[in-house]
Structure 1
Amino acid sequence: MTMRVEPIIGRYGHMEIEGRTHRVYWEEAGEGVPLVCLHTAGADGRQYRAVLNDPEVTAHHRVIVFDMPRHGKSSPAPGTVDDAYALTSDAYAAQILAVCDALELDRPVVMGCSIGGRIVLHLAHRHPERFRALIGLQSSDHVAPYYDTAWLHRPDVHGGEVCGAVAYGLMAPQSPEAERDETRWHYMQGGPGVFRGDLWFYKVDGDISGQVAEIDVAKCPIHLLTGSYDYSCTPDDTRDLARRLGVEMTEMEGMGHFPMSENPERFLDYLRPVLRTIREG
C-alpha cells in the first residue's frame, strides 16, 4: 500500500513574548502571501489541516499555523506551568506579533476563528498597518455568558471530556462525523484549565464592543464568515458586527463554530474566493 505524505512541515522556534522566552511550535505549507491561521480556545493548529493541505491555497499562500503557548506542542514558558492562566487581549496580540516578527512576515493575512475571530478585531484596532487583510471566522465583538466555565477545570470532573462535550455541541449535525470526532478529540487533549483560561479573553477581557466604531477597514480590510449552526457566535451576531464595521459577511450553510475543522472541504469552498479577493485587491 502506498503511503500518502502530506506537504506540511512542522518546526519549533525559540522566541521572546512579553519578556519571556517561549518554545513555540508551528506548521506551514506553500509559498506566497503569508496566511497566519489562529486556532480556537483550548485547541491547537491541527484544526487547519485542510487549509495546509489544499493545493489551491498553498499555490498562492505560505500558510502558517502556530500553537499558542500552553496549547498543542507549545509548552508554557519555563517556570509558569502552575500559574493560573487567563488569556488577555494584550497577551494574545503580543503572541501573534511575536510570531510574525520572528518569521519576518511582511504584512501577512491573519485568519482566526472564535477567540481568533475576536482578536483579529483587536489587531485591526491596534495595528492595522501590520496586516494585508484580516479574516474573522465565527467573529463577534462580545459574547453573552451562556455557561459556567468552572465545569471546565474541576478536580471532580474529567476536564477533557467536558471540553470535548462543549465543542461537540457547537458543531453542526450536518458536518461529517469523522471530522466532528477529530475536532472534539483535539479538545479532549488540552492542558488543565487552558480552555477555561482562553474563555476569559472570549467572555470578558476581549470584549471590543466599545471600540468597533474606531476600526477603520480602509486601513486593513476585514472579511467575516460565520457558520449558520452556532449558538456561541450566531450569524446575527456577526451580521451586526459587519453592519457596524461597514463590511459584508458571509453565512456558511451547514457549519457550526469550527468550520475549518468540522467540515473542512465545505469551508474551503467559502475561503478560496475570499483569499482570491485579497490577492487581487
Structure 2
Amino acid sequence: MSPESARIDSPTTPAVDGTRIAYQVRGEGPPLVLLAGQANNHHWWDGIRERFTGRRTITLDWRGVGDSDKPDGLYSTPVLAADVVAVLDALGVDRADVYGTSMGGRVAQHLAIDHPDRVGRLVLGCTSPGGPNAVHRDPAVTRSLGGPGPEALRALLELMYTPRWLAENPGPYQVVGDERMTPVSRRGHLRASNRHDAWAELPRVQAPTLILHGSDDLMTPVANAELLHGLIRGSELAVLPGSRHAFFHEFADVVTPRVQEFLG
C-alpha cells in the first residue's frame, strides 16, 4: 500500500452544534491545516500532504462527508470554519497555518476573518471572495456538471486537469467528490459554497496571505484571484500558466515548494 493511500486514523470531535467532525493528523512539526474542496473528504490531499515534510498536517472530513456526521442542515462557510476550530481545540493547537483550496479556500477566508488568532499564515487556492462582486463561471460550465453521471464526471475531470495529464493519469481521482454523501449533505455543500460572500470582510484579514490560481481555471475564473489580491492587504499573488482548477495536484512539483517557501 502506498503512503498516500494508507489508512489514517480518523478520531472525531463535536462541533458547536454536536455534529461529530472526523479529522486526521500526520507528521510532526509546526501545524498546517489542509482544507479540501466542496463535497470532498480528506483524500483530496492524498499525494500532496506527504510533501510537507517537517510539518504536522491536519485534515478533516467536512460535515456531510467521509467519517463525519451528515446532518440535515447547518451548512455554510462560517459554520465549516467553526468546525475547523473545533478540530484545532481537540488537538490543543492554538494557532496553525492554513492552506485551503476551492470551497476550502472559502472556509479558510472565514477562519482568518472570524478567528484571526487561530491563523498564522494563509494560502488560498482556486477560490473566490463570493457574492455578487465575484466573477462567476459561465452557465454552460455549470450545465455540463448536471448531465448524466459519466458525462458529468468527464466534464468535472476536464475542469480539474489538462487533457495531457488526464491522458497520462487514468485514475483513480481523489478530487471528484465523496460517494458516501447523502443528497441532503450534497445540497448543503453546494449551498454553502454558492452563498459564500466574504467581500466586505476580507480587508480585515490580518494573516500574511498567498493567493494561488490556475490561469485556465473555468470552474472558478482566475479573475477572482485578482479580486482577492485587491481585498487582502499585503497579499501575494501567483498565477500558474496553463493550469486548471486542480493545479495544486497536477502541478504539485511547482506549487508545493512555492507554498513551503511562503510558509517558511
TM-score range normalised by the length of the shorter chain: 0.7 to 0.9
Aligned to 1:200: 191
The 2-side partners of 1:232 and 1:15 are apart by 32
Aligned to 2:122: 134
- Is the 8 Å Cα contact of residues 164 and 187 (structure 1) preserved in structure 2? no
Aligned to 1:278: 263
Equivalent runs, 1:123-272 vs 2, <5 Å: 123-142=111-130, 143=134, 144=136, 146-147=138-139, 161=150, 164-174=153-163, 176-177=165-166, 179=169, 181-183=171-173, 186-187=176-177, 189-193=179-183, 194-204=185-195, 206-213=196-203, 215-216=204-205, 219-246=206-233, 247-261=235-249, 263=250, 266-272=251-257
- Indicate how the Cα distance of structure 1 residues 120 and 152 shifts in structure 2: closer, same or farther if over 3 A, else same: same
State, as a whole percentage, how many aligned pairs show the same letter.
23
The 2-side partners of 1:200 and 1:141 are apart by 15
The 2-side partners of 1:45 and 1:97 are apart by 16
1:39 counterpart = 2:36: yes
The 1-side partners of 2:164 and 2:34 are apart by 21
Q: Secondary structure at the match of 1:50?
A: coil
TM-score normalized by the length of structure 2: 0.83
Number of aligned residue pairs: 256
The 2-side partners of 1:229 and 1:176 are apart by 14
Structure 1 portions without partners, runs of 5+: none
The 2-side partners of 1:200 and 1:11 are apart by 29
Structure 2 portions without partners, runs of 5+: none
Q: Secondary structure at the match of 2:75?
A: coil
Deviation sequence 1:44-72 (CA, Å, 0-9, x none): 11121122222xx22x2111221112212
- Is the 8 Å Cα contact of residues 8 and 52 (structure 1) preserved in structure 2? no
- Is the 8 Å Cα contact of residues 7 and 53 (structure 1) preserved in structure 2? no
The 2-side partners of 1:188 and 1:125 are apart by 28
Equivalent runs, 1:16-35 vs 2, <5 Å: 16-22=14-20, 24=22, 26-35=23-32
Q: Secondary structure at the match of 1:242?
A: helix
Given residue 99 of structure 1, which amino acid in structure 2 is its aligned partner? V
Q: Secondary structure at the match of 2:200?
A: coil
Q: Secondary structure at the match of 2:218?
A: coil
Aligned to 2:101: 113
Q: Secondary structure at the match of 1:12?
A: coil
Deviation of 1:29 (Å): 2.5
Deviation sequence 1:202-236 (CA, Å, 0-9, x none): 211x11112223x24xx311111011221232222
Deviation of 1:75 (Å): 3.5
Q: Secondary structure at the match of 2:47?
A: helix
Aligned to 1:104: 92
